[in-house]
Amino acid sequence: MRYYIVAGERSGDLHGSNLVKAIRKIDHTSQFRGFGGEFMQQAGVDLTVNYAEMAFMGLAELVTNANKIRKYIRLCKADILSNKPDVIILIDYGGFNLQIARFGKKNEFKIFYYIPPKYWAWYPGRALWLKPYVDHLFVILPFEKEFFKKFQWEAHYVGNPVLDAIKSHLSNHPLSNNNDSNGKRSLVALLPGSRKQELKRIIPLMAEVVRRFPAHRFAVAAVNNLDPVWYKELRDLKNVDLIFEDTYNLLQNATAAIVTSGTATLETALFKVPQIVVYKANAITYRLAKLLIKVEFVSLVNLIAGRHVVREMIQSAANSDDVAQELGRLLEDGAYRAKMIEGYDEIIKKLDTGSASENAARLMVSYLG
């Protein structure tokens, strides 16, 4: 079978690579091509475009880069027609992949959507826009199955690939003995995100907080696809290290973490690291988001739990005074930490349904006959 996969962000690239590996175990004649990144390429996908060229964040950034996005949509459509895959697998990246889903269905390709856009958060009615163009929908959050059922759409809940990745990491990397004299991990992890727009707003905040804790060690989860100059404000501080492309080992040895909202909040929770969720957006993007957003929480941790498990500090609340105060509490208040970790345990129970990648791969191959 020939598979065309489209992922436009780092997390989609990771989950896409694991899905490819799982499909290969079942479909030994499989061939893969598409849009993605290094993880998918290493898994054997022939990349048309690396997602780093089109990783735009927020409504304002999407508007200013509209011409570039349209160019990549045209390129993707032409490449699909040229390669004639047996199925197109879309991974998140809502606006772009909605266009590809419409195009694919019009040209009579099978369309599978693995990890659909977060329509439950932003304008739920958009689920109806997508439904006519997708043959099978594979979701990774327990509440998404019920959400799509409201639109008479039977989604397959396959489990969560983030939990799969962390289970695999823990089985292959025994916990190192990076402890202080009291047997407690002493490292604070900083996860500023993987896109320039995120780093531009969050790095200065993190640097201000670090300066208030000169006796503590900090480490930044850095990525290779960004110029190291983006981390300069943190890199110049004596008690900060940059850890490139090794976020899971960093979290495995962390006492606490400051995390930019996104998949990283769930990863941090699954490593049972007490965290603060911070987020800052372009002012226009934030105002529009407040009008459109339909959920109570922004972090996956709180959304899955259905209650406050971690503190979310958004926009003006993401300031050095309040974040530093919360970090001090995470580092010093044992009861507060324990309560947060109890919440994490609840989330793990909800998500643990076996391997999401393997569950999705089995279903996809069976639907292809």
CA distances from 60 to 52, 179, 290 (A): 18, 43, 14
**Total residues belonging to the chain:** 369
For residues 188 and 216, the answer to whether their CB atoms sit within 8 Å is: yes
When pLDDT is averaged across residues 3-29 and rounded to a whole number, the result is 94
CA end-to-end distance (rounded Å), the chain = 10
Helix (H, G, I), strand (E, B) or coil at 107: coil
Q: What is the pLDDT of residues 28-49, one digit of tens each?
A: 999 999 999 999 999 999 999 9
Residue 122 has pLDDT above 80, yes or no: no
pTM above 0.75, yes or no: yes
User: 147-156, 160-169, 358-367 — which is least confidently predicted?
Assistant: 160-169
Residue 190 has pLDDT above 50, yes or no: yes
pLDDT value of position 292: 57
DSSP string for residues in 181-222: TTS-B-EEEEE--SSHHHHHHHHHHHHHHHHT-TTSEEEEEE
For residues 168 and 18, give the distance between their C-alpha atoms in angstroms, rounded to a whole number. 11
Q: What is the pLDDT of residues 244-299, one digit of tens each?
A: 999 999 999 999 999 998 889 999 999 999 999 999 887 766 666 665 566 688 89
Q: What domains lie within the chain, and their CATH numbers?
A: 2-159+354-367 (3.40.50.2000), 167-351 (3.40.50.2000)
When pLDDT is averaged across residues 191-217 and rounded to a whole number, the result is 94
Of 97, 148, 91, nearest in space to 120 by CA: 148
pLDDT value of position 149: 95
User: Of 177 and 92, which is predicted with more confidence?
Assistant: 92
Q: What is the pLDDT of residues 290-316, one digit of tens each?
A: 655 666 888 999 999 999 999 999 999
Fill in the DSSP letter of residue 353.
S
Task: Specify the pairing of strand 31-36 against strand 87-91.
Answer: unpaired
For residues 269 and 265, give the distance between their C-alpha atoms in angstroms, rounded to a whole number. 6
Residue 115 has pLDDT above 50, yes or no: yes
pLDDT value of position 64: 59
Average pLDDT value for the chain: 90
List Cβ neighbours of 136 (8 Å cut-off, separation of 6 or more): 112, 113, 156, 363, 364, 367
User: 102-116, 163-177, 235-249 — which is least confidently predicted?
Assistant: 163-177
pLDDT confidence of 118, banded at 50, 70, 90?
confident
pLDDT value of position 244: 94
CA distances from 162 to 12, 23, 81 (A): 11, 18, 32
Residue 113 has pLDDT above 60, yes or no: yes
For residues 285 and 293, give the distance between their C-alpha atoms in angstroms, rounded to a whole number. 11
When pLDDT is averaged across residues 147-160 and rounded to a whole number, the result is 95
